[in-house]
Amino acid sequence: MNKTKTGLVSIVGRPNAGKSTLLNWLLGEKIAIVSHKANATRKRVNAIVMSGNDQIVLVDTPGIHQREKLLNQFMLEEALKAIGDCDLILFLAPITDTTVDYEKFLELSKKPHFLILTKIDEVSNGQILESLSKYQKWSDKYLELIPVSTKRGTTREHILKTIVKYLPVSPHLYSPEDLTTEHLRDIYREFIREAIFEGTSDEIPYESDVVIDKIEETLEENKIDKIYATIIVEKENQKAMLIGKNGSGLQRIGMNAREKIEALLKKQIFLQLFVSVKRGWSKDKKSLEQFGYIW
Ligand SMILES: Nc1nc2c(ncn2[C@@H]2O[C@H](COP(=O)(O)OP(=O)(O)OP(=O)(O)O)[C@@H](O)[C@H]2O)c(=O)[nH]1
Ligand SMILES: [Mg+2]
């Protein structure tokens, strides 16, 4: 009998390590928020990746970090839950990092894991070898040590096959046709957040979030689906900065987000954004729960 392998594989590591980029790359489709600014991911995101008949359920997580704010505590707990609830961990560290984060991770979890060194396109071959040798002393701790670049060179299939080697024989958890367990509206929200990360500076990316108010779908020809969303910020001056002169800032964010959503849906959509102030939302449990950050 032909038995399939299936497992939950959590991607963890410090903020900005390249976790969400790796998830999108292994999936072959962009669903998770990516930013050069740290702490972009706030919640776990599942991607369903098939390798032949075997199913890998990848779980993207917020970067492991310590900060006082309640939202950051939620993010840390999301990462810790993902470490607890999986068959295998992919621990990511940029190739230029010291080994400190990996040493901390080893204290935190005894789970089977791969050590994945990311962004190797940013350094020379000599530096890659040097980094690999630094980690050799933990070779009895990790199952595999894999240097990766999502920009060039590394083969995706090799990584997927290597992951499958360590997964249990088990029926699929999800339909092989599904790409993710996320609702589309949650992906739209992440794409709008990504546009905010790209289009604003200072604290705005960290003190804003997005609520999808309404989605109007149409089957009629010549008409397009409409998405209405509200950007929530903490302060009046952030609202003014987001909206910009004559609304130009908000318009730019809206265009950028619309293009991201259209690339996923492979069709045109209409997106309208509003901005609203909710003082202290990122430090208040009730507000966080309203935005779907549920402990
Ligand atoms: N050069 C290079 N840059 C990369 C690579 N992978 C990711 N990056 C960049 O690293 C930055 C962070 O990537 P993310 O995928 O958002 O990192 P993350 O670990 O999910 O970050 P958080 O969600 O904040 O924890 C982005 O600017 C990516 O484009 C890579 O292989 N090579
Ligand atoms: Mg991320």
Q: Candidates 21, 31, 119, 194: which one to mutate for ligand 1, based on the most atoms within 8 Å of Cβ?
A: 21
Ligand 1 centroid to Cα of residue 13, in Å, is 11
Q: Which ligand sits nearest to residue 17's alpha carbon?
A: 1
Ligand 2 centroid to Cα of residue 111, in Å, is 21
Give me the phi and psi of 243, to 5 degrees please.
-70, -40
Per-residue pLDDT, 1: 58
pLDDT tens string 233-254? 999 999 999 999 999 999 999 9
Which three-class secondary structure state does DSSP give residue 86? coil
Q: Is the pLDDT of residue 161 over 90?
A: yes
DSSP sequence for 93-157: EETTS-SHHHHHHHHH--S-EEEEEE-GGGS-HHHHHHHHHHHGGGTTT-SEEEE--TTTT--HH
Report the length, in residues, of the chain. 295
Nearest-5° Cα angle at 148, 146 to 151: 170
Average pLDDT score over the chain: 96
Q: What is the pTM of this model?
A: 0.97
The C-alpha atoms of residue 101 and residue 135 are separated, in whole angstroms, by 12
pLDDT tens string 118-131? 999 999 999 999 99
pLDDT tens string 71-85? 999 999 999 999 999
Rounded mean pLDDT of 192-212? 97
- All domains of the chain in start order, with CATH: 6-165 (3.40.50.300), 184-290 (3.30.300.20)
Nearest atom (ligand 1) to Cα of 62? 25
The C-alpha atoms of residue 258 and residue 192 are separated, in whole angstroms, by 8
Provide Rg for the chain, Cα atoms. Answer: 20
Residues with CB under 6 A from ligand 1: 13, 15-21, 34-36, 38-41, 62-63, 118-119, 121-122, 149-151
Nearest-5° Cα angle at 200, 180 to 250: 85
Ligand 1 centroid to Cα of residue 38, in Å, is 9
Ligand 2 centroid to Cα of residue 24, in Å, is 10
Nearest CA to ligand 1 atom 21: 16
How many percent of the chain have pLDDT more than 70?
100
pLDDT tens string 88-139? 999 999 999 999 999 999 999 999 999 999 999 999 999 999 999 999 999 9
